[in-house]
């Protein structure tokens, strides 16, 4: 069956509200770890994860950093309008470039309380330290989002403005406001590249002690970047996946990581999170497109939603990744940044990733479809086990190590 024909009702399970972890545990690596290998389930904790990964494996982390994407503007009447910054309005603007813009930006946003914002009225937010004034105007309405012009009277970059004026964008299903501890805990210890509006949650469990254990065992690590967009929380509302518009996200890889992937292809490559898996697999298909001389719009979306099911899938992963590396060398790129819209769902054959560390995901979500693609229908058995054995779900919950 082509993934277009998948019915989302087959990927719904009962998630009681009290199983959703509203807060993280005091210690990151104290979270429970479910291990799934050869159709068998075992339990441990993240503190001992190195014992469940063979030496000479490669773990790939997503080094994206969550930005303070929530801006709260108070009206003269005392009401609050929330602007949630999603992505640059110009789809051809590389995210890192947009984050370093000065004076003003055009941004696609969701607006809470939009009906109370009179057309043509500017909102202002005063910030004392450092001193600046941030103004917001609705420029236009695009399908699914508002286009907001944000301007400020200082030389700070937009990333800095968000850092000072914004708030941590906790997932909506937590049903609470961000607190002081979320500033640190809703961020991985290896977060580096600013741009996500949601954390790559599989990485939240890792500590310096865990990384030390991995290194001592001879397990290698590498990094990619995929900036998580609000679309990751977008529920599938269509009856079949054919009518679901998959969100596109900015991703980046460097030559060092591609070389590491190539050298570990016949060992184990473990993606830390669905975002890392999505990135790694996307660059395989970009390599296939280069080899098949397909047009690639690197400035916009290099890999669209269904291309992975339409391209020649017999190309060896080493050859595909080498094609990406050769392209970067020809273009004199140390890093390659573009967007991916790939939808990984049952029917997809993973080309590079054979191990996956991830949290437990929402029912009827594209993230759950990725898990089902990775381990098949046994995802039901795995989730039933987690629910009946007191595992905590979603962003601040526990997680699992899955072997393909």
Q: Please state which CATH class domain 69-167 belongs to.
A: mainly beta
**pLDDT tens digit sequence for 127-136:** 999 999 999 9
Whole-number pLDDT of residue 196: 95
**pLDDT tens digit sequence for 196-233:** 999 999 999 999 999 999 999 999 999 999 999 888 77
> What are the structural domain ranges in the chain?
3-65+186-403, 69-167
Give the model's confidence band at 193: pLDDT under 50 very low, under 70 low, under 90 confident, else very high: very high
Query: Worst-scoring range by mean pLDDT, 79-83, 276-280, 339-343?
Result: 79-83
Q: What is the 3-state secondary structure (H, E, C) of the chain?
A: CCHHHCEHHHHCCCCCHHHECCCCCCCHHHCEEEEEECCEEEEEEHHHHHHHCCCCCEEEEECEEECCCEEEEECCCCCEEEEEEEEECCCCCCHHHHHCCECEEEEEEEEECHHHCCCCCCEEEEECCCCEEEEEEEEEEECCEEEEEEEECCCCEHHHHHHHHCECCCCHHHCCCCCCCHHHHCCCCCCCEEEECCCCHHHHHCCHHHHHHHHHCCCEEEEEEECCCHHHHCCCCCCEHHHCCCCCEEEEEEHHHHHHHHHCCCCCEEEECHHHHHHHHHHHHHHHHHHCCCCCCCCCCCECCCHHHCCCCCCCHHHHHHHHHHHHHHHCCCEEEEEECCCCCCCCCCCCCCEEEEECCCCCCHHHHHHHHHHHHHHHHHHHHHHHCCCCECCCCCEEEEEC
Give the model's confidence band at 116: pLDDT under 50 very low, under 70 low, under 90 confident, else very high: confident
Can you give the pTM of this predicted structure? 0.95
**pLDDT tens digit sequence for 160-174:** 999 999 999 999 899
According to CATH, the topology of domain 3-65+186-403 is QueA-like (3.40.1780)
């Amino acid at each position: 069956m082509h993934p277009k024909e998948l019915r989302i009702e087959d990927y719904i399970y009962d998630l009681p509200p009290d199983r959703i972890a509203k807060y993280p545990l005091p210690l990151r690596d104290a979270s429970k770890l479910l291990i799934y290998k050869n159709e068998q389930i075992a339990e441990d904790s993240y503190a001992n994860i190195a014992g469940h990964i063979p030496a000479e494996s490669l773990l790939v982390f997503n080094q994206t950093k969550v930005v303070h994407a929530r801006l709260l503007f108070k009206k003269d009447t005392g009401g609050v309008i929330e602007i949630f910054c999603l992505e640059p309005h110009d789809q051809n603007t590389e995210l890192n470039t947009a984050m370093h813009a000065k004076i003003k930006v055009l941004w696609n946003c969701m607006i809470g309380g939009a009906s109370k914002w009179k057309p043509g009225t500017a909102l202002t937010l005063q910030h004392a330290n450092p001193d600046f004034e941030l103004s917001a105007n609705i420029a236009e309405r695009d399908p699914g989002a508002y286009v907001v012009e944000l301007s400020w009277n200082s030389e700070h970059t937009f990333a800095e403005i968000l850092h000072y004026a914004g708030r941590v964008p906790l997932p909506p299903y937590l049903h609470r406001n961000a607190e002081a501890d979320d500033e640190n805990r809703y961020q991985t210890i290896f977060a580096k590249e600013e741009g996500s509006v949601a954390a790559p949650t599989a990485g939240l469990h890792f500590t310096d002690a865990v990384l030390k254990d991995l290194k001592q065992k001879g397990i290698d690590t590498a990094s990619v970047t995929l900036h998580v967009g609000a679309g990751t929380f977008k529920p599938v509302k269509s009856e079949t996946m054919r009518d679901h518009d998959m969100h596109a996200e900015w991703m980046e890889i460097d030559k060092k990581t591609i070389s590491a992937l190539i050298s570990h292809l016949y060992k184990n490559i473990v993606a830390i999170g669905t975002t890392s898996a999505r990135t790694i697999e996307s660059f395989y298909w970009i390599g296939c497109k280069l080899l098949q001389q397909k047009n690639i719009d690197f400035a916009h979306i290099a890999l669209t939603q269904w291309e992975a099911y339409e391209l020649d899938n017999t190309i060896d992963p080493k050859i595909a990744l080498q094609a990406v590396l050769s392209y970067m060398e020809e273009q004199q790129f140390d890093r390659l940044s573009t967007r991916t819209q790939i939808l990984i769902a049952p029917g997809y054959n993973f080309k590079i990733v054979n191990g996956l560390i991830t949290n437990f995901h929402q029912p009827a979500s594209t993230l759950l479809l990725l898990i089902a693609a990775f381990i098949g229908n046994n995802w039901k058995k795995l989730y039933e086990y987690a629910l009946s054995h007191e595992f905590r779900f979603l962003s601040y919950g526990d997680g699992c190590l899955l072997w393909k």
